[in-house]
Amino acid sequence: MSHNWNEFYGDVQEAIPPNAPTLLGKDRDLRMYVDLDHVGNKSNRRLRTGFFIYLNSALIMCKSKKQAIIETSVWNLLQ
């Protein structure tokens, strides 16, 4: 998926310090995907979060966690 952020940020350039070291080697592609599933499990109503980190299309770290406690929400009753 590709986005054009020029409309939002304009034509900006990254400020590189004049004393920055010369880049060596190939470019790296580091991506992180994060997801949140709110009340996806209807039996216990627990929230689940997770993330995946990829370096050059290779998965280097992932984690998924389910919340330990359940909290009741009264938002629908107030509307």
- pTM score, two decimals? 0.49
The pLDDT of residue 65 is: 86
Distance, in Å, from the CA atom of 31 to the CA atom of 37, rounded to the nearest integer, reads 20
When comparing pLDDT for 4 and 72, which is higher? Answer: 4
Mean pLDDT computed over every residue of the chain: 81
Q: Report whether pLDDT(68) > 90.
A: no
What are the residues whose beta carbons fall under 8 Å from the beta carbon of 45, sequence distance 6 or more?
39, 70
Residues 32-44, mean pLDDT to the nearest whole number: 77
The pLDDT of residue 44 is: 67
